[in-house]
Chain A
Amino acid sequence: MITSMTTTTTNSTTAKLLSYPLNAWYPAAWDHEITGKGILSRTIAGRPLALYRTQDGHPVALADACWHRLAPLSQGKLVGRDEIQCPYHGLRYNAAGRCTSMPAQETLNPSATVASYPVSERFRYVWVWLGDPTLADPALLPDMHQLESDEWAGDGETIQAPCNYQLVLDNLMDLTHEEFVHSSSIGQEELSESEFEVTHDENTVTVTRWMRNIDAPPFWLKNMRDKFPGFEGKVDRWQIIHYTFPSTICIDVGVAEAGTGAPEGDRSRGVNGYVMNTIAPETDRSCHYFWAFMRNYRLESQLITTQLRNGVHGVFGEDEAMLQAQQAAIDANPDHEFYNLNIDMGGMWVRRLLERALESEGRSVAAPAAAPAASSKG
Chain B
Amino acid sequence: MITSRDDVWQSAEVTAVDDVADRIRRIVLQPERPEPTRPGEHIDVLATVNGEQQVRSYSVVEAPDNGGHLVITVFRTPDSRGGSEFMHSLEQGQVLRVTKPLQNFPLRVGAPSYVLLAGGIGITAIAGMAALLRRLGADYRLVYVARSRAAMAYLDDLAALHGHRFEAHIDDEGGSLDVPALVAGVPAHTELYMCGPIRLMDAVRRTWADRGLDRTNLRYETFGNSGWFDAEPFVVRIPRLGVEAAVGSGESMLEALEREGVDMMSDCRKGECGLCQVKVLGLAGRIDHRDVFYSDRQKASDSTMCCCVSRAVAAAPPTSSGKRPAVLTIEVP
Residue B66 is within 8 A (CB to CB) of chain A in the complex: yes
Residue A98 is within 8 A (CB to CB) of chain B in the complex: yes
A153 to B297, CA, bound (A): 62
Chain A residues lying within 8 Å of B58, measured Cβ to Cβ, are: none
List residues 106-138 of chain A with CB under 8 A from any CB of chain B. Answer: 106-111, 113, 116, 118, 132-134, 136
Chain A residues lying within 8 Å of B273, measured Cβ to Cβ, are: 109
Question: Contact at B297–A106, with CB atoms within 8 Å?
Answer: yes
Question: Contact at A98–B295, with CB atoms within 8 Å?
Answer: no
**Interface of chain B, helix or strand or loop or mixed?**
loop
Partner of B219, one of A105, A110, A362: A110
Chain B proximity of A20: nearest CB distance (Å): 17
A64 to B333, CA, bound (A): 33
Residue A94 is within 8 A (CB to CB) of chain B in the complex: yes
Question: Contact at A94–B216, with CB atoms within 8 Å?
Answer: yes
Question: Contact at B272–A111, with CB atoms within 8 Å?
Answer: yes
Chain A proximity of B238: nearest CB distance (Å): 24
Residue B241 is within 8 A (CB to CB) of chain A in the complex: no
A94 to B215, CA, bound (A): 11
Chain A interface extent, by class:
20 to 34
A60 to B274, CA, bound (A): 31
Question: Contact at B132–A134, with CB atoms within 8 Å?
Answer: yes
* Most A CB within 10 A of own CB, among B104, B106, B132: B106
Residue B35 is within 8 A (CB to CB) of chain A in the complex: yes
Chain A residues lying within 8 Å of B109, measured Cβ to Cβ, are: 118, 133-134, 136
CB closest residue in chain B, given A106: B295
Chain B interface extent, by class:
20 to 34
Question: Contact at A113–B106, with CB atoms within 8 Å?
Answer: yes
Chain A proximity of B72: nearest CB distance (Å): 19
Residue B36 is within 8 A (CB to CB) of chain A in the complex: yes
List residues 201-253 of chain B with CB under 8 A from any CB of chain A. Answer: 215-216, 219-222
Given known pairs A94-B216, A118-B110, the reply for A110 and B292 (CB within 8 Å) is: yes
Chain B proximity of A131: nearest CB distance (Å): 10
Residue B54 is within 8 A (CB to CB) of chain A in the complex: no
Residue B166 is within 8 A (CB to CB) of chain A in the complex: no
Chain B residues lying within 8 Å of A116, measured Cβ to Cβ, are: 108
Chain A proximity of B220: nearest CB distance (Å): 5
Question: Contact at B222–A110, with CB atoms within 8 Å?
Answer: yes
Question: Contact at B108–A108, with CB atoms within 8 Å?
Answer: no
List residues 70-86 of chain A with CB under 8 A from any CB of chain B. Answer: none
Chain B residues lying within 8 Å of A96, measured Cβ to Cβ, are: 108, 216
Question: Contact at B294–A106, with CB atoms within 8 Å?
Answer: yes
A100 to B294, CA, bound (A): 16
Residue B136 is within 8 A (CB to CB) of chain A in the complex: yes
A362 to B35, CA, bound (A): 8
Residue B298 is within 8 A (CB to CB) of chain A in the complex: yes
Chain B residues lying within 8 Å of A118, measured Cβ to Cβ, are: 109-110
Chain A residues lying within 8 Å of B135, measured Cβ to Cβ, are: 134
Chain B proximity of A363: nearest CB distance (Å): 11
A338 to B109, CA, bound (A): 42
A133 to B136, CA, bound (A): 11
Chain A proximity of B2: nearest CB distance (Å): 11
Question: Contact at B292–A100, with CB atoms within 8 Å?
Answer: no
Question: Contact at A110–B272, with CB atoms within 8 Å?
Answer: yes
A133 to B138, CA, bound (A): 14
* Most B CB within 10 A of own CB, among A94, A96, A105, A110: A110
Chain A proximity of B70: nearest CB distance (Å): 16
Residue B293 is within 8 A (CB to CB) of chain A in the complex: yes
Chain A residues lying within 8 Å of B293, measured Cβ to Cβ, are: 105, 107, 109
Chain B proximity of A96: nearest CB distance (Å): 6
Chain B residues lying within 8 Å of A134, measured Cβ to Cβ, are: 109, 132, 135-136
Question: Contact at B216–A98, with CB atoms within 8 Å?
Answer: yes
Question: Contact at A100–B216, with CB atoms within 8 Å?
Answer: yes
Partner of B36, one of A113, A136, A362: A362
Chain B residues lying within 8 Å of A100, measured Cβ to Cβ, are: 215-216
Question: Contact at A109–B272, with CB atoms within 8 Å?
Answer: yes
Chain A proximity of B66: nearest CB distance (Å): 7
Chain A proximity of B197: nearest CB distance (Å): 15
A113 to B108, CA, bound (A): 11
CB closest residue in chain A, given B138: A134
* Binary CB contact string for chain B from 253 to 294 against chain A (1 if under 8 A, 0 otherwise): 000000000000000100011100000000000000000111
Chain B residues lying within 8 Å of A108, measured Cβ to Cβ, are: 215-216
Closest 10 CB pairs of A and B: A106-B295, A98-B216, A111-B104, A133-B109, A109-B272, A110-B220, A107-B295, A134-B109, A96-B108, A100-B216
* Sample of 21 A–B contacts (CB below 8 Å): A94-B216, A98-B216, A100-B215, A100-B216, A106-B294, A108-B216, A109-B273, A109-B292, A110-B220, A110-B221, A110-B222, A110-B292, A111-B268, A116-B108, A118-B110, A132-B36, A133-B109, A133-B110, A134-B109, A134-B135, A362-B35
B contact set with A: CB distance below 8 Å: 35-36, 38, 66, 104-106, 108-110, 132, 135-136, 215-216, 219-222, 268, 272-274, 292-295, 297-298
Given contacts A110-B219, A362-B35, 10 further A-B contacts (CB under 8 A): A96-B108, A106-B295, A106-B297, A107-B292, A107-B295, A108-B216, A110-B220, A118-B109, A132-B36, A134-B136
A contact set with B: CB distance below 8 Å: 94, 96, 98-100, 105-111, 113, 116, 118, 132-134, 136, 362
